[in-house]
Structure 1
Amino acid sequence: MTAALVAGLVAGYGIAMPVGAVATYLVSLTARTSLRTGACAALGVATADGLYALVAALGGAALAATLRPVTVPLRWASALVLAVLAVRGAIAAVRQYRGRRSAARTGQDPPRPARAYLALLGITLLNPTTVVYFAALVLGSGSADAASPLEQGVFVLAAFAASASWQLVLACGGALLGRALTGHRGRLVTALASSAVIAALAVRMLLAAP
């Protein structure tokens, strides 16, 4: 049981801690909205990680074989979503700067917490790297078939808890960033920088496709 707990924590932090496009968007979203919205978005990411950990723990080798043919389409879909987010973020930042409006009243209303949760859940689910990562961990440990249902449950819950804790740290960082950069120019610079990073990561994802 302890081994399953430790394995789940390590797996959760392992997939959550690398700062990529999703993490960048999470920080930027929290900075532009509120900690409550960012926390819901963070839980959306963690939910996707937990679901993929569950599927990987139950699916074993069949999961990796089934996913392989659709890896490229999923990567393209994920890159497209990220590109749209980058463009929309940049346009909204420029409109806000030109209109000299407060962060609460941009060209469109900020996403509600529930919408932020579903958006980040969907974005993370589109990333095939997550499920491949968990499947490789489960298969590599040799415990895919030997683990009991209780041990599998502990592994999944630990992975979810680890991912959630890290994503909430990122959301808190975004909230602090939003409080520090209250000026119009500061918000414009950070939003454009975030959009540029997300766009670059989307391009990199496409270039990595076979």
Structure 2
Amino acid sequence: MTAALVAGLVAGYGIAVPVGAVATYLVSLTARTSLRTGVCAALGVALADGLYALIATVGGSAVAAVLRPVLAPLRWASALVLLALAARGAVAAVRQYRARRLNTRSAPPPPSPARACLSLFGITLLNPTTVIYFAALVLGTGTTESAGPLEQGVFVLAAFLASASWQVSLAGGGALLGRVLTGHRGRLVTALVSSGVITVLAVRMVT
């Protein structure tokens, strides 16, 4: 039981801690909206990580082998989604800045917490390297290979909680960033920098 718990925590933090395009978008989204929206988005990421942990626990290396042939197309799909998000975020930030500056129209409504959760859940699901990671680094070592359903459940829950704790901490950082950059120009710069970083990371994903 303890081994499964530790393995799940290690796996969850291992896949969540490296800051990539999704984490960058999460921080930027929270800075532009609210902590509630950011936390819901963070839970969407953690749910996807937990689902992949469950798939890896049940299917193991066999699932990884099945996914490897379609890994490249899924990477391209993920990169295209991230590029679309980056472009949309930049355009929305510029429009919002101009609208507030000219006072001619109101800013577009921010995404609801539920929509943010579903969006980040879907984006994270497009990253098949997560299940490859769980299968290769955790199940490949035999940590839960011979474990019973209870130990496997503990592993999946621990992986979810580890990912959730890290993603929520990123959302908290985004909320603090949003409070610091209260000016319209500061929020515009934050959104444009975030869009640029997401674009670079999306391009690197397929190169």
Q: TM-score, normalised by structure 1?
A: 0.94
CA distance in 1, matches of 2:144, 2:68: 19
Report if the CA contact (8 A) 2:25-2:198 is conserved.
yes
Is 1:21 matched with 2:21?
Answer: yes
CA distance in 2, matches of 1:116, 1:136: 30
Q: 2:113 — aligned with what?
A: 113
- Compute the displacement of 1:191 (Å): 0.4
Q: 2:176 — aligned with what?
A: 176
- Compute the displacement of 1:100 (Å): 1.7
Q: 2:52 — aligned with what?
A: 52
- Give unmatched runs, 5+ long, in structure 2: none
CA distance in 1, matches of 2:74, 2:196: 22
CA distance in 2, matches of 1:126, 1:182: 33
CA distance in 1, matches of 2:6, 2:145: 18
Q: 1:153 — aligned with what?
A: 153
Report if the CA contact (8 A) 2:60-2:140 is conserved.
no
CA distance in 1, matches of 2:65, 2:135: 10
CA distance in 1, matches of 2:138, 2:54: 10
Give the secondary structure class of the aligned counterpart of 2:206: helix
Report if the CA contact (8 A) 1:30-1:171 is conserved.
yes
CA distance in 2, matches of 1:50, 1:95: 36
CA distance in 2, matches of 1:173, 1:121: 20
Taking the TM superposition and a 5 Å limit, the aligned residue runs for 1:1-210 are 1-100=1-100, 105-106=106-107, 108-207=108-207
Give the secondary structure class of the aligned counterpart of 1:72: helix
* Aligned CA distance change for structure 1 residues 7 and 143 (closer, same or farther; 3 Å): closer
CA distance in 2, matches of 1:144, 1:14: 17
CA distance in 1, matches of 2:36, 2:18: 23
**Larger deviation: 188-197 or 58-67?**
58-67
RMSD: 1.2
- Give unmatched runs, 5+ long, in structure 1: none
CA distance in 1, matches of 2:176, 2:144: 41
Amino acid at match of 1:185: R
CA distance in 1, matches of 2:138, 2:6: 13
CA distance in 1, matches of 2:144, 2:60: 6
- Compute the displacement of 1:144 (Å): 4.7
Report if the CA contact (8 A) 1:52-1:130 is conserved.
yes
Instruction: Provide the aligned length of Structure 1 versus Structure 2.
Output: 204
Report if the CA contact (8 A) 1:60-1:144 is conserved.
no
Q: What does the per-residue CA deviation read over 1:105-164, in whole Å, with 9 as the maximum and x for residues that have no partner?
A: 52x321000000000000000001111101112332224531111110000000000000
Report if the CA contact (8 A) 2:3-2:143 is conserved.
no
Report if the CA contact (8 A) 1:60-1:138 is conserved.
no
Q: TM-score, normalised by structure 2?
A: 0.95
Q: What does the per-residue CA deviation read over 1:63-95, in whole Å, with 9 as the maximum and x for residues that have no partner?
A: 011101110110000000000000000001111
CA distance in 2, matches of 1:159, 1:143: 13
Hey, which bits of structure 1, 4+ residues long, moved more than 4 A?
none
Report if the CA contact (8 A) 2:144-2:151 is conserved.
no
